[in-house]
Amino acid sequence: MSSARSSESPALERFQSPGKGRGLRALRRFAVGELLFSCPAYTCVLTVNERGNHCECCFARKEGLSRCGRCKQAFYCNVECQKQDWPLHKLECSAMCVFGQNWNPSETVRLTARIIAKQKTHPGRTESEKLLSITEFESHLDKLDNEKRELIQNDISALHHFYSKHIEYPDNAALVVLFGQVNCNGFTIEDEELSHLGSAIFPDVALMNHSCCPNVIVTYKGTVAEVRAVQEIEAGDEIFTSYIDLLYPTEDRNDRLRDSYFFTCDCRECITKKKVIVFIRVHMLYLLFRFIARFYSKGIAFFLFGFFTSSSFITI
Ligand SMILES: C[S@@+](CC[C@H](N)C(=O)[O-])C[C@H]1O[C@@H](n2cnc3c(N)ncnc32)[C@H](O)[C@@H]1O
Ligand SMILES: [Zn+2]
Ligand SMILES: [Zn+2]
Ligand SMILES: [Zn+2]
């Protein structure tokens, strides 16, 4: 992992985080704003809408990019960027010419095609996989319901349809695992104005678990992810990032985390909000009980109180 002081003893380690699987932990103190580590993309794909604005290889935004002479749809800074991207762009270059307007694989399918190609050309561990290799990614295969499996099968069909040339496909079972891994560990890249630029795989960054009170944020310099402290981090602290927009309310956040990542968050923010909700409900029930007790017999009031409190504890 390329940390800010990579020549010294390691600053971060992989560990088993109780209830969260593997995680990343600090071995020394980090100040707010400090770079913990950076991770080049294992592979990435520029979103179709940004073609012509950004280089397909390094994501640099420039005027006057040079166009791929074959497909005329991919743009590059220079010949170096074009050459570097060719082993992956060739998966799409001729297919885009053949399919024309009908070439429309999803970004997940495009990214997965690049992973399969890269695994063939770079079978060993890459510099993006110092602590977590792509083959170790969590897939949550056992938790995929029929709807999710169907979506993955659609992606597999699209992969076969649009990328039949140049790719040696793994078998269907391995592809289901791979799409499960991409869904759970893939990143979207945004520019400074938060508009979507593309999707990527950053294995070491994917080692970090989620918290709604994160101590780091991930930003991007071209196709390199940078992880910086947004809170003081002490040696021994787990490193947490946020997987989702923190502006969503607690319940919404957890619905999204359960749907995409198969867990419910137990961070301070989520637990405190739950406690506040429990407190408000219990307090309201207490007032309701006193109100009812004024008008009805004790027996009925006790029954109502019991009924409401037990139902509220079920729903919390
Ligand atoms: C990108 S991976 C993070 C690394 C993962 N722990 C591993 O062992 O590969 C995302 C997965 O980590 C787990 N995870 C992340 N944050 C969590 C949290 N706050 N509580 C429980 N599980 C969490 C979930 O299984 C989630 O699908
Ligand atoms: Zn470039
Ligand atoms: Zn091309
Ligand atoms: Zn939370």
Number of Cβ atoms within 10 Å of the Cβ of 153: 14
Question: Digits of tens for pLDDT over the chain (316 positions)?
Answer: 544 444 567 999 999 999 999 999 999 999 999 999 999 999 999 999 999 999 999 999 999 999 999 999 999 999 999 999 999 999 999 999 999 999 999 999 999 999 999 999 999 999 999 999 999 999 999 999 999 999 999 999 999 999 987 788 899 999 999 999 999 999 999 998 889 999 999 999 999 999 999 999 999 999 999 999 999 999 999 999 999 999 899 999 999 999 999 999 999 999 887 656 555 555 565 556 555 555 544 443 333 333 333 222 222 2
- Tell me the C-alpha distance between 249 and 264, whole Å: 14
Q: Which protein residue has the closest C-alpha to ligand 1 atom 9?
A: 138
Token pair 């969260």 in the structure block, residue: 20
Q: Is the CB of 243 under 6 A from ligand 1?
A: no
- Tell me the C-alpha distance between 279 and 297, whole Å: 26
Token duo for residue 287: 């007032």
Q: How many residues does the chain have?
A: 316
Name the phi and psi angles at 254, rounded to 5: -70, -30
Q: What is the pLDDT of residue 7?
A: 54
Domains with residue ranges and CATH for the chain? 3-41+204-314 (2.170.270.10), 43-188 (1.10.220.160)
Token duo for residue 32: 């707010």
Q: Is the CB of 209 under 6 A from ligand 1?
A: yes
Token duo for residue 74: 């991919």
Q: Which protein residue has the closest C-alpha to ligand 1 atom 11?
A: 261
Ligand 1 pocket, mutate which of 209, 211, 256 (most atoms under 8 A from CB): 209
Q: What is the pLDDT of residue 155?
A: 98
85 C-alpha to center of ligand 2: Å? 9
Give the nearest ligand 1 atom to 23 CA. 6
84: exposed, middle or buried (Cβ count in 10 Å: 0-12, 13-18, 19+): middle
Q: What is the pLDDT of residue 306?
A: 32
- CB 204, CB 137: distance < 8 Å: no
Ligand 1 pocket, mutate which of 13, 20, 227 (most atoms under 8 A from CB): 20
- CB 239, CB 25: distance < 8 Å: yes
DSSP states along 27-65 = SS-B-TT-EEEEEE-SEEEE-GGGBTTB-TTT--B-SSP
Q: What is the pLDDT of residue 192?
A: 86
> In this structure, which ligand is nearest to the CA of 78?
2
Residues within 5 Å of ion ligand 3, judged at the Cβ atom:
68, 70-71, 74, 93
- Tell me the C-alpha distance between 261 and 139, whole Å: 9
Q: What is the pLDDT of residue 274?
A: 62
> In this structure, which ligand is nearest to the CA of 66?
2
DSSP states along 264-313 = ---SHHHHHHHHHHHHHHHHHHHHHHHHHHHHS-HHHHHHHHHHHHHHHH
> In this structure, which ligand is nearest to the CA of 91?
3
